[in-house]
Copies of this chain bind each other. A is one copy, B any other.
Amino acid sequence: MPRHRQEATLDSLVTRVPTHGQTKGEHILETLQSFAQATPAGTLLPSERALADHFHVSRMTVRGAVDELESKGFARRVPGRGTFVNHPQLTHSETFRSFSDDMRLRGLEPGSVGYRASTRRATRSIAASLGVEVGAETLHIERVRTADGEPMALERTNVSLERFPGLRSQMSPDQSLYDIIQRIYNIRLESARQRVSIVRLSAPDAVKLAVAEGEPAFLVERTALDNMGRVVEFGRSLYRGDRYAIEMHVGTPGARPLS
């Protein structure tokens, strides 16, 4: 039966080779997500039954993948009509992004200046936040994160060197810490506790961010956890109040499909 709206064909779904150790559901999710990202919003995805045939899995497995796709904001289900491609425009609160990904999502080019890394013994407060013992070796990284070349945030972060030996030499000034931890140690950072407050910038911090002393900024205190719930990183970042805004979608993701 002819469908009037733009519809994705099954052929256009490049069935990639499953990555090692992946479940079928994860494989389908990744395939659908990369498809959705390369497709205009509002496109009708193949039906769940068709996808099940295409991937040679049961419909429940497809539903699991589409559930996640929807919760990430890349799809929107409409009962009786189908599932539509959606492009999440806001930082959907369910997904936790690195600075680099955050900037790219805003259409800005992430960068970094003034990178300084040092090995430090954990103080009591750092040890408590990081879940290590007082005096344990930690890597402290400070850098100014830029967006399109202009200072956006001053990032200070702490990672346990006992959990990530050799991280200091693997780390590169311009890259996302999360990407490196994921690539080298195969640990996915997938959730974080964050506390956002307002502070006025001290003179040295203001200089680094290229604004006047006393200007207000967001102080983001973040504890990032891996999929086992273990603390991976504890950091405090200062985001320029005149350039940065937190955009979020709380609750069910909900951009409606075109008409």
Measured CB to CB, the residues of A under 8 A from B are 60, 76, 90, 93-96, 190-198, 200, 216-218, 225, 227, 229, 241-242, 244-256
Question: With A191-B249, A200-B216, A216-B198 given, is the CB distance from A254 to B225 under 8 Å?
Answer: yes
A218 to chain B, nearest CB (A): 7
Question: With A191-B251, A251-B191 given, is the CB distance from A246 to B196 under 8 Å?
Answer: yes
A213 to chain B, nearest CB (A): 14
**Looking at the complex, which one of B195, B241, B244, B256 makes contact with A245 (CB distance below 8 Å)?**
B195
Q: How many copies does the complex hold?
A: 2
Starting from the known contacts A195-B245, A196-B245, 11 additional A-B residue pairs (CB-CB under 8 Å) come to A93-B93, A94-B251, A95-B251, A96-B250, A191-B252, A191-B253, A191-B254, A194-B249, A196-B248, A198-B241, A216-B241
Q: Is the CB of A198 within 8 A of B198?
A: yes
**Looking at the complex, which one of B60, B194, B200, B246 makes contact with A195 (CB distance below 8 Å)?**
B246
B-chain residues with CB within 8 Å of residue A244 when the two chains form the complex = 197
Cα-based distance from A252 to B250 in the complex (angstroms): 14
B-chain residues with CB within 8 Å of residue A197 when the two chains form the complex = 241, 244-246
A138 to chain B, nearest CB (A): 21
B-chain residues with CB within 8 Å of residue A253 when the two chains form the complex = 191
Quick one: which of A96, A198, A250 has the most chain B CB within 10 A? A250
Question: With A94-B94, A195-B246, A241-B198 given, is the CB distance from A229 to B216 under 8 Å?
Answer: no
Q: Which residue of B lies closest to A76 (CB)?
A: B229
**Looking at the complex, which one of B76, B90, B94 makes contact with A250 (CB distance below 8 Å)?**
B94
Quick one: which of A93, A94, A249, A251 has the most chain B CB within 10 A? A251
Cα-based distance from A216 to B249 in the complex (angstroms): 24
Q: Which residue of B lies closest to A226 (CB)?
A: B254
Cα-based distance from A61 to B15 in the complex (angstroms): 30
A214 to chain B, nearest CB (A): 10
Q: Is the CB of B198 within 8 A of A93?
A: no
Q: Is the CB of B90 within 8 A of A93?
A: no
B-chain residues with CB within 8 Å of residue A251 when the two chains form the complex = 94-96, 190-192, 225
Q: Which residue of B lies closest to A91 (CB)?
A: B250
A144 to chain B, nearest CB (A): 19
Quick one: which of A93, A195, A242 has the most chain B CB within 10 A? A93
Question: With A241-B216, A256-B229 given, is the CB distance from A247 to B194 under 8 Å?
Answer: yes
